[in-house]
Structure 1
Amino acid sequence: MSTTKYTKIGIVGAGSMGSMMCLLFAEAGPDISVFDVKGENVDTAVEMAEKNPKTQGKVKGYKDYESFVVSLPAPGHRLLLFSITHGQPADAVLDALRPHLARGDIILDGGNEWYANTERRQARLAREQGVAYVGMGVSGGYQSARHGPSLTPGGDPAALRRVLPLLEAVAAKDARGTPCVAPVGPGGSGHYVKMVHNGIEQGMLGAIAEVWGLLRFNLGCELDEIGEIFKQWSETPELKKTFLLDIGVDICQKRDPSVGQAGVSDNDHHVLSTVLDKVVQDADDTEGTGMWTVAEAARLHISAPTIAASHFLRLASADRAARLKIGESLKLPPPPVGPRTTLSAQDKALFVEELRQALYAACLAAFTQGLQLIARQSDREGWGVSLATCLKVWRAGCIIASDRLLDAFAPVAADFDAARTANAADGAPGSATSAPRDAAATLPAHPRLGAALAHAFPGLRAAVLWALARDAHVPTLGAALEWAKCAGAGALPTMFMEAQLDWFGAHRFERWGSDAARFGGEVRKGGAHYEWAPA
């Protein structure tokens, strides 16, 4: 394998992520040249490095492109890591850097970029300058960027071989010490997998927030108690070592004497009690991955309501002023205050267990929907993305890390990857790396996944029914429930929709009793039409 030992690299972008990666990479060996269009960010990154004994003298700051590039190794041997905002800002920085680049240089784009932008840049840089542009998902937030993120690089195989040793050195390590990084495929596959990771993350965040709301607003649990519940859940077989639950413990129980009002309530100095109920990262266009994932689900014809419902919950939360006005019109009650239920200790314990099962079911739904997206897009693009590799990379250093959830999907991923290999060996038409056409559609039907979902389904249904009776907010949990019900339904009311489509559009339909009705058949228009009314 062709590898390169980098003694110095350049990092472009010194915000919260970039500055942390300066320290991370510097500790791994190479010296760092850092540049940012905001000079104060450069100063902050260098100052942080100088305060760390392991990185003193290893990070140098630059505030113009020319001196920054000159500080790096000889042309053709340079490695640049981007940590900048997706879209136009990344294009602007790249345009400014292009006159200084040379054949053989490699750019690692560690931002949350739309995969088509990645492929556009890859094609242009390779064609015009011989520069390799690698779209690399960096998961785990700024804490993981400091201590070891999950990495999904995608692009030119030769470039990936050159940078992989360095990436393995800085990536998070799973329980066995295996680096959570692997080349996922060509083109924009690395950024696409990271996009879907964030979509799954979004679904999990929505489900956990809704469960927290039921515990807090409707069941009457105090914040410290919810923290203990989350801690217990993260020790159970289904949710063992789930990162979002683990940080939820800290969030529920963190106190700061500088916040809150002493003596006012049980929430004395809880930081969480000061956090307003709005998420704006999607509504203000600073984050694109959630929106892209929902749009991709529609484009690829993947039913992903768990991910979508959580996204729309975030959007609904963003404009609090509008919410308050709408609430006045609907005469919605405020969140309960004080004792919320009259449940006995036994019934409360039973409901808490149902909530745990509901959360597990919603996480299963979000993972399934995300993996279906990756599978279908990989099939269409001929990327050959291994679902087992995705699960391996997600074991540590990323937001959706969860030991047993990932274990539940291991056989699903293995069977999908085996089907792709068998398909290629049989010389099936289309891409040699593509899985069977219906592989993505059949992922939810995998026996191991079906058994896990069936186990948690009663708790999910009970939790949603309990919430609806109390006007609680459970769009993500509700979407997971309806997804499971519809995905496995023997009969849906869509027969009426199909009839209406045929009535006004002559779209045709299948009849009960046909082979399609008995065996499922392909996803294609039916052969029957009825002239419901004369034209």
Structure 2
Amino acid sequence: MQHESTSVAAIGVIGLGVMGKNLALNIADNGYRVSAFDLDVSKIRTAEQQALHEFGTQDRLTGFDSLPSLLASLATPRLIVLSIPAGKPVDAVCQSLIEAGIETSDIVVDTGNSLWTDTIEREQRYREHFHFFSSAVSGGEMGARFGPCLMPSGNADAWQHLAPVWEAIAAKVDSQTGLPLERTAPGQTDIQGEPCTAYIGPAGSGHYVKMVHNGIEYADMQLICEAYHLMSSGLGMSAADIGEVFGRWNQGPLNSYLMEISADILAQDDPDTGAPLVEVILDKAGQKGTGLWTAVSSLQLGCPAPTIAEAVYARAVSNQKSLREALSQQLAAPANPPQLDKENFINALESALLCAKVACYAQGFQLMAMNAADQGWQLNFADIARIWRAGCIIRAGFLQQITSAYEAEPNLEHMLKADSFAGMLAEHQQGWREVVAQGVMLGIPVPCISSALSYYDSYRAAVLPANLLQGQRDYFGAHTFERTDKPAGDKYHLNWSQSPRDLVKIG
């Protein structure tokens, strides 16, 4: 660790926790000199030692014990990456950088899971001191080290300085197949392929896209868990047998990182007891808030995203373990649960999972589109689907189809309007319906699979019962209604409390 500059580095990294350290090593691995800082001196030393071990030299990553010395070590305009917890710590570091002498031409990149509205506010707050830029990061520890998915947004000129670094360190995919070209060890930096990063748009847009990514992730995980529950409780299958089914599905249209790791988890025995590990893991799920933010945003925009919301609720229900245990002894189960044909049900379940996954992604892309319209952003949805194909938690072969759909029709109003998806749902919907029906009859909760089907059926319906709802609203609150036989926008009210009940045109 050094106390003053001895050479010029290309980029600084502040925050050397799991993600920050691995991002710094990834950047250094790709030929950039990195200056690093953390309030915890031991983390600086750990990063330096790992860099020396991996690269055989101390020149790639150098630690500094103060922000002024880190700033002095960097080429100008300075490029500084923050990998620190979202919220107040971001502002604390930004204020410290101002006190340390950061300049107006310098660029500070927030890579944490910040709320997108906070990012917009910070760009305004710090513009007189430096360029505040943001880039959401997905992929976890291994992604950060060997190729994450990166979603940058903010000042377009600042992006030009960051772009070469981000394109170098990002995950890569084969441009023809869309499949990941994985890097698994230091020095594997010559992989040629499309980088999983692209400029998303103005301040906040990258963090919004990442937020929706995480909402989709919540739903995708819950969908797989519901399939596991149906096979475990409905068919009486062992964890290992379910893992084999997931492994088989992973070779087809359901190919994804989450399916792959689910198969691996189900095959794992507990080192202590020898029982399937999944059966000794307590069924209480944690969350860090981004799924909740996605559900809240959908409600604020009036954009239906029921499958994402149900995934958040499922985690909430899981945490009420003691109440569930008590009610399981009190609430009645179905009296005559059906007997399932194992092979037919597993085939139907594969169809259900595929259809629900399509509906889930459609919800996420519609949500991004509606917020983009609200914020005046011009989002490239083909690019977003393209960069999600590798390096992130929801990476999946299925994203190649989404990429193609938006490439063919950039202004696609809704993902389900693409012929490829409408055809897929038509082909597989019968199995989807059978699974939901059987889940209900078995008494096994399938909130995400069933909400996705209701979402599909709601958009399939040219007429919904909201006409009665508007009648109810007008009855108790004089909220008015439009008529099917009059021009759009004309409002009417019926004087429900009078006799005779007169119809009045309002406005």
Structure 2 match to 1:533: 497
Q: Sort the Cα spacing of 1:51 and 1:87 in 2 relative to 1 into closer, same or farther, 3 A.
A: same
2: distance between equivalents of 1:38 and 1:329?
52
- Match of 1:252, as an amino acid? L
Counterpart of 2:278, as a letter, is L
Match of 1:155 in 2: 154
- Cα deviation for residue 69 of structure 1 reads 3.0
Q: Cα gap change, 1:356/1:514 in structure 2, threshold over 3 Å: closer, same or farther?
A: farther
Number of aligned residue pairs: 472
Mapped to 1, the partners of 2:333 and 2:43 lie a distance apart of 45
C-alpha distance in 2, partners of 1:499/1:526? Answer: 15
3-state DSSP of counterpart to 2:389 = coil
CA deviations 1:224-278 (Å, max 9, x no partner) are 2222211211222x32x3111111121111346x33x24xxxx3xx433332111
Partner in structure 2 of residue 48 of structure 1: 50
**8 Å Cα contact 1:49/1:56 also seen in 2:** yes
Tell me, yes or no, if structure 1 residue 273 matches structure 2 residue 274: no
The residue that corresponds to 2:16 in the other structure is 14
Over residues 291-327 of structure 1, what are the superposed CA-to-partner deviations in whole Å (9 max), with x where a residue is unaligned? 1111111111111001110011112212423433444
**Shift in alpha-carbon separation, 1:458–1:102, aligned structure 2, 3 A:** same
Match of 1:227 in 2: 243
Q: 1:414 aligns with which of 407, 416, 423?
A: 407
> Does structure 1 residue 202 correspond to structure 2 residue 218?
yes
* Residue in 2 that maps onto 1:397: 391
Would the aligned equivalents of 1:9 and 1:30 in 2 still touch at CA under 8 Å?
Answer: yes
Q: Residue in 2 aligned with 1:254?
A: 268
What's the CA shift for 1:279? 1.4
Contact 1:112 1:288 in 2 (8 A): no
Match of 2:474 in 1: 502
Q: Are the counterparts in 2 of residues 218 and 341 from structure 1 also a CA contact under 8 Å?
A: no
SS in 2 for 1:153: strand
SS in 1 for 2:464: coil
For 1:52-451, what aligned pairs fall within 5 Å after superposition? Answer: 52-53=54-55, 57-70=59-72, 72-74=73-75, 76-100=76-100, 101-126=102-127, 128-129=128-129, 131-176=130-175, 177-236=193-252, 238-239=253-254, 241-255=255-269, 258-259=271-272, 261-262=273-274, 267=275, 270-281=276-287, 287-330=288-331, 343=340, 347-403=341-397, 405-414=398-407, 417=410, 419=411, 440=413, 442-451=414-423
What's the offset of the Cα at 1:479? 0.8
Give 1:57 deviation, angstroms: 5.0
Confirm or deny: 8 A CA contact 2:9 2:33 kept in the other structure: yes
| 1:34 aligned residue (33, 36, 53) | 36
- 2:492 aligned counterpart, secondary structure: coil
Where does the alignment leave 5 or more consecutive residues of structure 1 unmatched? 1-5, 282-286, 334-339, 420-438, 517-524
Question: How big is the shift at 1:52?
Answer: 2.0
The Cα shift of 1:172 comes to 0.3
User: Which secondary structure state, in structure 2, belongs to the residue aligned with residue 84 of structure 1?
Assistant: coil
Q: Which residue of 1 aligns with 2:27?
A: 25
Partner of 1:463: 435
Deviation at 1:164, TM superposition (A): 0.6
Tell me, in whole angstroms, the C-alpha distance in 2 between the residues paired with 1:65 and 1:7. Answer: 14
Q: Deviations over 1:28-57 (max 9, x none)?
A: 112222222334433333333333246655
Change (3 A) 1:479 1:38: farther
**Against the structure 1 CA distance between its residues 526 and 293, is the aligned structure 2 distance closer, same or farther, given a 3 Å change threshold?**
farther
Asked if 1 retains the 8 angstrom alpha-carbon contact of 2:137 and 2:151, the reply is yes
Q: In the aligned structure 1, how far is the partner of 2:428 from the partner of 2:482?
A: 34
For residues 243 and 232 of structure 1, the distance between their equivalents in structure 2, rounded to whole angstroms, comes to 13
User: Counterpart of 1:384 in 2: which secondary structure?
Assistant: coil
Distance 1:459 1:43 in 2: 56
Q: Does the 8 Å contact 1:27/1:55 carry over to 2?
A: no
CA-atom RMSD in angstroms: 2.4
Question: Match of 1:410, as an amino acid?
Answer: T
Letter in 2 for 1:87: G
Aligned residue for 2:491, secondary structure, equals: coil
Q: Secondary structure at the match of 1:251?
A: helix
Q: Is the 8 A contact 1:220 1:341 kept in 2?
A: no
Aligned-partner residue type, residue 403 of structure 2: A
1:483 is aligned to 455
Bigger shift: 288-297 or 272-281? 272-281
**Residue 81 (structure 1) shift:** 1.1
What whole-Å deviation, never above 9, does each CA across 1:84-131 have from its counterpart, x for those lacking one? 1111222222222222211221112111111111111111222x12x2
Secondary structure in structure 2 of the residue aligned to 1:330: coil
- Listed as ranges, the gaps of 5+ residues in structure 2 are 1-7, 176-192, 500-507
Whole-angstrom distance in 2 between the partners of 1:50 and 1:323: 52
TM-score scaled by length of structure 2: 0.87
CA gap of 1:446–1:125, structure 2 versus 1, over 3 A, is same
CA 1:449–1:514 in structure 2 vs 1: closer, same or farther (change >3 Å)?
farther
Supply the AA of the counterpart residue of 2:116: Y
1:39–1:63 contact (8 Å) kept in structure 2: yes
Change (3 A) 1:296 1:314: same
Contact 1:411 1:448 in 2 (8 A): no
